[in-house]
Structure 1
Amino acid sequence: MLSRYKTLYKSGCKEIEIKRSKFIGYARQINSEKDAIKFIEEIRSKHRQATHNVYAYVFGERDEIQRYSDDGEPSGTGGIPVLNVIKMEGLKNTAVVVTRYFGGILLGAGGLARAYGKSAKAAIDDAVIVEKILFRKISIIIEYTLLGIVQNDLIKNEYFIKSIDYTDKVKINVYIEEGKKDYFIEHIKNLTKANLILKEDNNLYLYKKGEKYLE
């Protein structure tokens, strides 16, 4: 399980026109190769009358699955340019389909490759590139007398405080990057002189765009 990688936050769709041909790019994060195939079939079904539905996708921790199709366009002018855009953006687990409605003007091999690459990039930008980071949810249970020192430390060190529950004790729920978990636990124990209860929850992925975290 990768600790962090770049992928897409949501589904993207963008339409461009080049010399009367209409190119509609679709981009989506995928969770398996089966997911990619289903996505491609959805777009094909939606655009049954299209001249071409070119696609490419990348999946796996080491990008071990890479597939593409020119769908009838001259060899190397559709699928490879789309795949190259995915790889140049450094994206993992990503599928892109570009639908083309021919407008009557031939673009030539170079023109086709540029058009498909441009459409793929537009769809990816619309889907929003993010970092997907593996976190662990940790609950810190302390007495009220320790709330100020712990909360200030979390804020100062820019830890992601998910929520704070106030009952007979204070329960601070934080998301910690999996790779920093052991250091964090040791740090909090030292800060509170071990006067706390720590509870670890399951791993989960969060998205990061710039300095902002997204669930």
Structure 2
Amino acid sequence: MRQSYLEAYKGGEGELVEKKSRFIATVRPVKSEAEAAAFIEEMRKKYWNASHNCTAFCVGRNNELTRCSDDGEPGGTAGRPMLDVLLGEGIHNVCVVVTRYFGGTLLGTGGLVRAYSGAVKEGLKNSIVLDKRPGREAAVTCDYNGLGKLQYIAGQMKLPVLDIQYTDIVAARLMLPEADVDAFVKKVTEATNGKAVIELLGTPYYADNDGELLIFEE
């Protein structure tokens, strides 16, 4: 059975100031090491005069690839804490660059860890992270007597209706959570006395983006 997972969908930016040092976190969705490298280079050019541009990224549904860099900060005080935030939040296919403009006061090891971690959290707050769920698209055809029953079941199970066509019969397409396919088929079959025809189609992932249904063919 496939599993749901969190993925960066749209990047964002967050900032915090610690003892006059500015920490600017920029988050970007990435699907490969090459995309992450290109984004990191883009940020280094944008913030060419910064004290540090520290980085962390996770690529793959199971975090098959993770990398981080302290970019001159004391070892383990920037990149690894940044990566730990991404891993702790369970977010996949994401890269973050935290840019530091030194304010003249040393923060110490603990202070740097808190600042870089905190900056990543601020950046994520201003990003869009989706909960991508494994789904199954279903096409259902039934007569008009079965329509109300189908609508009731869809509402009861909170299933998104992708499309519905009315001709001499009713033809609807719905998105089902993968784990609920058997239950849906059983309910519709029983409610329509086997008259509804159910065809199971693709197996995309889907997500709710503030009320907008997004479908991802993977």
TM-score of the pair, normalised by structure 1: 0.88
1:107 aligns with 2:107: yes
Q: Which amino acid aligns with 2:154?
A: L
Q: How many residues matched? A: 214
Shift of 1:117: 0.5
Q: Matched residue of 1:202: which SS?
A: coil
Q: Which amino acid aligns with 1:154?
A: A
Shift of 1:22: 1.4
Which deviates the most, 94-103 or 127-136?
127-136
Matches within 5 A, 1:119-134: 119-134=119-134
Shift of 1:23: 1.1
Q: Which amino acid aligns with 2:190?
A: N
Counterpart residue number, 1:61: 61
Counterpart residue number, 1:87: 87
Shift of 1:95: 1.7
C-alpha separation in 1, matches of 2:165 and 2:42: 44
Q: Please say if residues 21 and 103 of structure 1, whose CA atoms lie closer than 8 Å, have aligned partners that are also in contact.
A: yes
Q: Matched residue of 1:15: which SS?
A: strand
- Residue 205 to residue 45, structure 1, CA distance change in 2 (3 Å): farther
RMSD: 2.2
Q: Which runs of 5+ in 2 are unaligned?
A: none
Q: Deviations over 1:113-154 (max 9, x none)?
A: 111000001111211443111212212111112111111121
Which deviates the most, 10-19 or 197-206?
197-206
Q: Please say if residues 3 and 133 of structure 1, whose CA atoms lie closer than 8 Å, have aligned partners that are also in contact.
A: yes
Which deviates the most, 141-150 or 58-67?
58-67
Q: Which amino acid aligns with 1:69?
A: S
Shift of 1:13: 0.7
Counterpart residue number, 2:75: 75
Shift of 1:10: 1.8
> Aligned residues: percent identity?
36
Q: Matched residue of 1:159: which SS?
A: coil
C-alpha separation in 2, matches of 1:181 and 1:213: 22
Q: Deviations over 1:33-53 (max 9, x none)?
A: 222222222222222222211
Q: Matched residue of 1:115: which SS?
A: helix
- Which aligned runs of 4 or more in structure 1 are off by greater than 3 angstroms? none
Shift of 1:201: 3.4
C-alpha separation in 2, matches of 1:47 and 1:19: 20
Matches within 5 A, 1:163-178: 163-178=163-178
1:143 aligns with 2:143: yes
